[in-house]
Amino acid sequence: MTEFGKQLTALETPIPGMVVLELPVHGDSRGWFKENWQREKMTALGLPDFGPVQNNISFNDAVGTTRGIHAEPWDKWVSVATGRIFGAWVDLREGPSFGTVFTIELDPSRAIFVPRGVGNSYQTLEPDTAYTYLVNDHWSPDASYSFLNLADETVAIDWPIALSDVEISPKDLAHPRLADVTPIPPRKILVVGAGGQLGLALREEFAGEDHVEFATRAELDVADPGLVDARRWRDYGAIVNAAAYTAVDTAETPEGRRDAWASNVTGVAALARIAAENGLTLVHVSSDYVFDGSLERPYTEDDAISPLGVYGQTKAAGDAVVSAVPRHYIVRTSWVIGEGKNFVRTMASLAERGIDPKVVDDQVGRLTFTGDIARGIRHLLESGAASGIYNLTGGGEPTTWADIARRVFELTGHDAARITGVSTDEYFGAASAPVAPRPRNSVLDLSKITATGLSVADAAASLPAILNAST
């Protein structure tokens, strides 16, 4: 008999991410009522906001009807509308919890959240039992499933009614034993813009991870109208947008302005739509150029944006679009150094060629190496940090471009006095082409991301190794 008057309570299980909920059921002589899924109350208890899109009902005539063990590539919210069942779940996901078993009886006053990849099965204990479940993907024959035999000796489920005495479909009887099960891999991560500096660093960071895919612009153009159908997006857990238009000076030209807005805003909006509609996490890389650099302290994630030029405006607009995605990380960085042409390589080359450059000395910030950005992105995705903006640069004392140039000269065995410091206005004073305004202060406060457990590398300490790798 259904128990009335329970308090809404969440109970953890041995299977990671799977949670049992005791549900309040209100009844009298006329019958009963319950809130089968109440998003606000249940997410407050720690359940994921899993975004159900389909509601299914399985009706069972006879006591002993047994179904499963099926692991689908979506999350489930499982409850009983009428009757009573013995439920058994087996973790069929890749990882250390593979093969973990949990069993419990469900009636209308008890429900369970079953994560993607956990095998689901049940046996009816009363006639005319209706078993309901919400899922966060539409059923598809193209989805990747995994199955386990109900009688598997390894997991040894203690069925209340012997399997020899119950109704089981021939298909369920033919499922493999645990040793032959194909584990469900984690949801895939797609890195867009995988041919650029950050994309190359992400390739290195996720090397050997089969669930991470990489796509260059030639392979996946975010401006393509067919993007929404380019993948079965529900198979993905996250999109990392490593693509961006970064030619800050060219962005001040008519053609550059169009290209910057197309890449940094229109393309980002397409990714944001896909992420929002499919429950994905969108990781987007932002810039110190969204600020005007007028503060006399490091910028926090909460400071008001005030971009000076077209590039900064497009990055600010892209940030606003991404912030509307329920699951997102905006990684704000500055002074990025990666593979290919960069400031460190240029200074090392000038030193070697005997050229004594003039370098700007009134802009302050910290170098950020693409490998550290990639490591930070991985940390955010795997740590489950709260959605939002996170500043991520190299650590240590802020410095100027001229000071960094002097350090590069020293590390390559050249005289740092060959560097002449000049103001930004003096440096660009004779330029014939458009020049984007630069923020004078690009120092970003790192306390928010370090509070998530990320150890930020000291930029000055990292420079020698980066320089050696570049030569």
- Residues 460 and 367: their CA atoms lie apart, in Å, by 8
84-100 core/surface letters (b: 16 or more CB in 10 A; e: else): bbbbbbbbbbeeebebb
- Residues 196 and 180: their CA atoms lie apart, in Å, by 40
Residue 130 host element (H or E): strand 129-135
Q: Which amino acid is at 421?
A: G
- Residues 329 and 397: their CA atoms lie apart, in Å, by 26
- Note whether 133 and 121 are within 8 A (CB): no
Q: Which residues contact 32 (CB under 8 A, 6 or more apart)?
A: 2, 4, 25, 26, 108
- Residues 118 and 78: their CA atoms lie apart, in Å, by 12
In residues, how long is the chain? Answer: 471
- Note whether 135 and 71 are within 8 A (CB): no
Q: State the helix-helix crossing angle for 370-383 and 197-205, rounded to 10 degrees.
A: 50
- Residues 140 and 130: their CA atoms lie apart, in Å, by 23
Among the listed residues 122, 133, 245, 299, the single catalytic one is 133
Task: Show the tokens assigned to 342.
Answer: 């960069």
Q: How far is CA 220 from the centre of its chain?
A: 19
- Note whether 275 and 239 are within 8 A (CB): yes
Number of H helices, E strands in the chain: 12, 25
- Residues 371 and 283: their CA atoms lie apart, in Å, by 16
Nearest to 246 by CA among 350, 333, 320, 376: 333
> What Rg, from alpha-carbon coordinates, does the chain have?
28
Among the listed residues 70, 145, 211, 379, the single catalytic one is 70
Q: Is 128 left (phi over 0), alpha (psi -120 to 50) or beta?
A: left
70 is catalytic: yes
Is 84 in a helix, a strand, or coil?
coil
Task: Show the tokens assigned to 28.
Answer: 């009298």
Active site residues: 70, 133
